[in-house]
Structure 1
């Protein structure tokens, strides 16, 4: 390999992703933004990920397809299978200075081994609480096994970056690695801001101006806490608290969610300015999920001046100031969630005050400053490896 670079403009990064653009989610949106930032600074980035004929959005940077198969029961997702000779030839030709892995799948493992054989540093970005997923599919007994597998993977990497301090602390307590930094998330303030609120659009959905709206935003999958969300709405209805529910997003659990919330408004997928309008049209954002490592949707709601009721879990704990910009409630505590929501639904002044505090807090999250942290970590690891050579 040529001499280790000392400047970002000279750096070549091989990025491995289990889902770079074929299904839209917060993690791959962050990865695409990171690639765009790196390329604007002059760095070269090559992405290795499954490819499909009709991806959810165009990829940023050159995307090299890796073999994959559809996941049983979750056919919208694909499982990367191997570093084929074709992919290995491409890697050799690209000659990266560092490898970035963003998913602990089979290809991620192979990428770490490939880098190790060439004495290249590896940075892993951790995007979700993978070990919590089995509990939503009646397989909680698998969590200790999955934790051990994740620990083996992440300890083979030179460093990790996590999207929130609360999640980084969890990773430290789980002994995943001893070099864990922060790569938080940003928000486009030109798009997500209180000025996007449009009462005429809400009326077109059959929502009266005076009716407070509880919003949900995200992929409609069970691990987002759809069961807790639904049970909480049932509790509000039993208490006779006036409200409407607006659900923004698509996913395989939509039919189940619609059956559980027959009076809710389902907008389907919203993107760009339409998404910002939908978020700003909420009066309180409810996020009961415990799987997020950061919570992009929570930050977008805050930027739009919407108070947040969230589970006191990784991600939300680093974003929401309890009793200042929202409420943090014990995960799964349906009565606690219902009480927090009731306060906002019945007190417009409280909504306005806490929503304003959240909008001010969201101004701290600028994408370029955030992505520079990852770029600086690349250079630190490359320089450290060069000294060890």
Structure 2
């Protein structure tokens, strides 16, 4: 395979501020949204809040969530939203795929044409949104958030991995611009044949994630003394997170530090199995965003064995909380961890090295934690991330406008007239 050119990262390295004060109509299509707890839902919520704060108009298209009437959606109660039917993802309770809604989307978009369609997920709903937007000549921005092809290995569908990879490439090549969270991933996606891949990193809220939120009361609740060690992992309790590796690393640590505790924060399909198989592990279940910062800051070491992340927001949140991280050398860990300074990087996929690195880090937690606190400003603000996103929206509008002029007669031609 020929070497792909370096991804266009100009939007993320030097924000293009043209049009930042021009109000855009943005349709955000996503198959997961707060209060669902996962990285994509968190990113969707942050993006929506940031766009609204910047004066843009946002319309959400998403599946109706289970027990929708009881879901805590107060923060987005006034947000224009189109709900579609969804089906549960086999083996992954709490997450739903939206069913195709092309006809409904076409009627809505012909009635009120968005300036740009941002599709965050590649499920049936996302695919129907991309096809419909393409047919109407609308600018399309695609977000690459999840390695669905890697997930096939964890859910006994490994034989479909290449088929899923090909589908993802075709999906994103219908978009004018695609956004990946790291330059490493953008390069990899383009080598697979994906076009117009740019870097849009992730931000961290330093008011929520900060060392000052360390809580003696919470540590007492966990049953640890002042000098006892707490290992932490935050995220969906699912097969692709390699949580058994985290437990084995903690068990190795306990050989020298018998009073150490492992705290797993989150819910998911693996919750019951983990609770049954490892009764000494503290399982908190889902934790509200208001309390999450205290959970991070009250730990001493963040242990992250997942190898399926496109970024890994939890790594950035742990570091911002002043907690050193043990993680594999890729994605957010590669970008943010300074080896043996604010954490430990482990060769990708090496389970024994991961366990040994955790034991090593646990033997010097005070040193690593001090260095992690000094580097707690690691990571970008969401404000700067949103500036990049808006610049990419304008670039997508420009690219769609070029196609409109070639094809003549797209219903979206009018919405690009004010773009510089």
CA distance in 2 between partners of 1:128 and 1:56 (Å): 25
Q: Spell out, residue by residue over 1:146-183, the C-alpha distance to the aligned partner (whole angstroms, 9 max, x if none).
A: 11111111111111111122322221222222x22222
- Is 1:305–1:358's contact at 8 Å kept on the other side of the alignment? yes
Q: Match for residue 193 of structure 2? A: 175
CA distance in 1 between partners of 2:163 and 2:370 (Å): 45
CA distance in 2 between partners of 1:367 and 1:339 (Å): 35
Q: Match for residue 27 of structure 2? A: 14
Select which of 134, 149, 156 maps to 2:174.
156
CA distance in 1 between partners of 2:316 and 2:145 (Å): 15
Shift, 1:357, TM fit: 4.5
CA distance in 1 between partners of 2:47 and 2:36 (Å): 17
- Is 2:245–2:355's contact at 8 Å kept on the other side of the alignment? no
Shift, 1:370, TM fit: 0.6
Q: Match for residue 203 of structure 1? A: 220
Worse-superposed segment, 182-191 or 75-84: 75-84
Worse-superposed segment, 20-29 or 82-91: 82-91
Q: Match for residue 92 of structure 2? A: 74
Select which of 268, 290, 298 maps to 1:251.
268
Taking structure 1 as reference, are residues 209 and 341 closer, same or farther at Cα in structure 2, changes over 3 Å only?
same
Q: Secondary structure at the match of 2:275?
A: helix
Shift, 1:22, TM fit: 5.3
Q: Match for residue 286 of structure 1? A: 303
Worse-superposed segment, 213-222 or 89-98: 89-98
Shift, 1:297, TM fit: 0.9
CA distance in 2 between partners of 1:286 and 1:182 (Å): 26
Shift, 1:139, TM fit: 2.4
Select which of 298, 307, 310 maps to 2:324.
307
CA distance in 2 between partners of 1:233 and 1:6 (Å): 50
Q: Spell out, residue by residue over 1:248-294, the C-alpha distance to the aligned partner (whole angstroms, 9 max, x if none).
A: 11112111122333212222222233211111111000011011111
Taking structure 1 as reference, are residues 255 and 186 closer, same or farther at Cα in structure 2, changes over 3 Å only?
same
Shift, 1:7, TM fit: 5.9
- Is 1:166–1:318's contact at 8 Å kept on the other side of the alignment? no
Q: Match for residue 377 of structure 1? A: 392
Select which of 240, 243, 267 maps to 2:284.
267
- Is 2:152–2:160's contact at 8 Å kept on the other side of the alignment? yes
Could you tell me which runs of 5 or more consecutive residues in structure 1 were left unpaired when the two chains were aligned: none
Shift, 1:349, TM fit: 3.6
Give the count of matched residue pairs.
381
Could you tell me which runs of 5 or more consecutive residues in structure 2 were left unpaired when the two chains were aligned: 1-17, 406-420
TM-score (norm 2): 0.85
Q: Match for residue 355 of structure 1? A: 372
Taking structure 1 as reference, are residues 382 and 227 closer, same or farther at Cα in structure 2, changes over 3 Å only?
same
Q: Match for residue 40 of structure 1? A: 53
Taking structure 1 as reference, are residues 347 and 384 closer, same or farther at Cα in structure 2, changes over 3 Å only?
same
Select which of 32, 38, 42 maps to 1:25.
38
- Is 2:61–2:82's contact at 8 Å kept on the other side of the alignment? yes
Cα RMSD after superposing both structures: 2.1
Q: Secondary structure at the match of 1:361?
A: coil
Structure number with greater CO (CA < 8 Å, separation at least 6) is 2
Shift, 1:66, TM fit: 1.4
Shift, 1:359, TM fit: 0.8
- Is 2:301–2:365's contact at 8 Å kept on the other side of the alignment? no
Runs of at least 4 residues off by over 6 Å: none
1:367 is aligned to 2:385: no
- Is 1:102–1:108's contact at 8 Å kept on the other side of the alignment? yes
- Is 1:307–1:326's contact at 8 Å kept on the other side of the alignment? yes
Q: Match for residue 15 of structure 2? A: none
- Is 2:249–2:358's contact at 8 Å kept on the other side of the alignment? no
Taking structure 1 as reference, are residues 84 and 118 closer, same or farther at Cα in structure 2, changes over 3 Å only?
closer
CA distance in 1 between partners of 2:306 and 2:293 (Å): 21
CA distance in 2 between partners of 1:285 and 1:124 (Å): 31
Select which of 322, 339, 351 maps to 2:356.
339
- Is 2:102–2:132's contact at 8 Å kept on the other side of the alignment? no
CA distance in 2 between partners of 1:138 and 1:114 (Å): 32
- Is 1:21–1:59's contact at 8 Å kept on the other side of the alignment? no
Shift, 1:28, TM fit: 1.6
- Is 1:21–1:55's contact at 8 Å kept on the other side of the alignment? no
